[in-house]
Amino acid sequence: MAKEKKAKRKPGACIPWEEKLKELPEISGDEELVKRVWEDIDALGYMYIWQCLLSF
């Protein structure tokens, strides 16, 4: 029997903020602003992928 791998991502996210934060250098400004912008852009990418899948 194969073990099921559970997704650690919340619905609507391609790359969660927690993963992206590990790739970024130290943020010297408003981290909440950067997080909000990242999550908005990431959600748009997720929506685009689903739209492409459903359209064809």
Q: How confident is the model at residue 4 (pLDDT cuts 50, 70, 90)?
A: low
Tens digits of per-residue pLDDT, 6-55? 667 788 899 999 999 999 999 999 999 999 999 999 999 999 999 999 99
| H helix or E strand, kind and range, residue 16 | none
Residue-level pLDDT at 2: 63
Q: How confident is the model at residue 56 (pLDDT cuts 50, 70, 90)?
A: confident
Q: Where are the domains of the chain?
A: 17-55
Q: Which residues contact 8 (CB under 8 A, 6 or more apart)?
A: 16
Residue-level pLDDT at 7: 62
